[in-house]
Amino acid sequence: MFRVAQARCASRPRRIRIEGVKAALPCLFLFLLAGCTSKNDAAYPSLSPRPVEKIAAEDLSPDDTPAPEPAAVDPAILKRMAAVRAALRQARERLDQAVAAASAPAPEAERGSEQWVDNQVTLSRLLAAQGAVRNAGTDLGAVMSDLAQARVGGAATAEAEAEVQSLQAEVEALLTRGQSEIGRRTP
């Protein structure tokens, strides 16, 4: 008997009866609908504010206390800025002296001639002066970084930052001037 049942299934595929599917469809729909109407509150969190959120909202409310006065800039930063300002002044003077002492540029002077030696000495003075200006610019960047950290800490740094920015603009101008002088003297 077992063999007959196997042979019968293998020889002729069974078709799904549409009447049976139509009868089972409402039951399947009700089963799925029952899953949607479950009253399992633990599965979904509440959307109402939590106690911690209520405390945070109360803390953010404005009150009558005045804002604290911003702290002064650290004197060590101001001292460092004064040292950089003095170094930049010296670098500017050094560049001015190098440009003033420079002879007329002669980029096509013959190697080893007196004009060529003068040109090389002038170039080395200009490069040294430009290096001093670059060093002052690097130190200004470090001072600006210190001022930014002080500002995050609550210090009033607007005036000092404005001064550093003007000094940085001066550094850029001196570097451009030095580079143009060097460019005139190189072949």
pLDDT of residue 154: 82
Decide if 84 contacts 139 (C-beta within 8 A).
yes
Residue 155's beta-bridge partner residues? Answer: 71
C-alpha separations of 113 from 23, 110, 133, 184 in Å: 112, 6, 30, 18
> Which of 50, 81, 65 is closest to 161 using CA atoms?
81
> Which of 146, 29, 31, 27 is closest to 84 using CA atoms?
146
Write down the H helix ranges in 2-157: 2-11, 18-36, 51-59, 75-101, 114-152
C-alpha separations of 146 from 73, 162, 171 in Å: 10, 14, 19
pLDDT of residue 50: 78
Render each residue's pLDDT in the chain as its tens digit; 187 residues: 455 544 455 556 667 777 777 777 787 777 777 766 656 555 667 778 777 777 765 665 566 566 677 788 888 989 999 999 999 999 999 999 888 887 666 667 778 788 888 888 888 888 999 999 999 999 999 999 999 988 888 888 888 899 999 999 999 999 999 898 888 877 6
Report the alpha-carbon distance of residue 73 to residue 160 in Å, rounded: 8
Q: Count CA within 13 A, CB hemisphere, residue 117.
A: 3
Distance of CA 157 to the CA centre of its chain: 20
Decide if 185 contacts 122 (C-beta within 8 A).
yes
Q: Return all residues near 81 (Cβ < 8 A) that are at least 6 apart.
A: 143, 160, 163, 164
Report the alpha-carbon distance of residue 52 to residue 68 in Å, rounded: 26
pTM over 0.85: no
Return the ∠ at Cα 171 (arms to 165 and 174), rounded to 5°: 145
